[in-house]
Each structure stands twice: as structure tokens, then as C-alpha cells.
Amino acid sequence: MDFGLLAEHYSAFSAIAVERASQDHKWGEQNHSDLYWLGILGEEYGEIAKALIEQDTSEEAIESEVVQLAAVCVAYLECRQRERIRAARAAPATVADAPAAPAPLMRRAVADESA
């Protein structure tokens, strides 16, 4: 196992987690449509592009923008997962979800109806 690489991953994911906590503190839970998220992601991506094009932005500032973009991606994923869970909880139970009756009981009920 490459512990140096593990440390780099931990550092990156830690920075993203800190940014996510900051975003939640600032704006609360964010639940938007896919298109709205696309706009937010585009704006964050644009900030990275602008920083790179201007070439006078520090490495720390560029990395900060990358962390913000990654954190917004995580927020978007969290939103989609919350929506999927909410939809599953709200879905009405259907007959298809009910367990099937054992075959012998079904045959007996049909036989009783024909008598």
C-alpha cells in the first residue's frame, strides 16, 4: 500500500469535506433541480477556468476553486441521493410488492369457486 498516495487522498477528501460543511453552514441543505445544479457547477468550473487563464492566481487560490467545485459535485450527489430515498419512501405499495400466496392455497381457492 502506498501510504504517500493515501495521505494525498486523505488531504484532498478532507479539504472537500471541510468545504461541504462550510457550504451547509452557509446555505443549509440544498435541494435543486438537475438544471439548477448544472448552473452552479458551470459557475464553479468557470471560476477555475478564469483563474487558470489569468495566470496571476496563486496555486492555493486555484486549488481552493477546485475544492469548491468538488464540494459542489458532492452536494449535487447528496441531493440526488436524498431525492431517490424520499421517492422510495413516498412510493405507494402495489399489489406487485405483496408476497404471492403459496400455490396450493391458490389451487384450493379456484377449486372452491368452481363448486
> How does pLDDT run across 55-90, given as a tens digit for each residue?
878 999 999 999 999 999 999 999 999 999 999 999
C-alpha 57/C-alpha 76 separation (Å) is 27
Q: How far is CA 113 from the centre of its chain?
A: 52
pTM of the predicted structure, to 2 decimals: 0.73
C-alpha 61/C-alpha 110 separation (Å) is 75
In the block, residue with C-alpha cell 422510495: 88
How many percent of the chain have pLDDT more than 70? 79
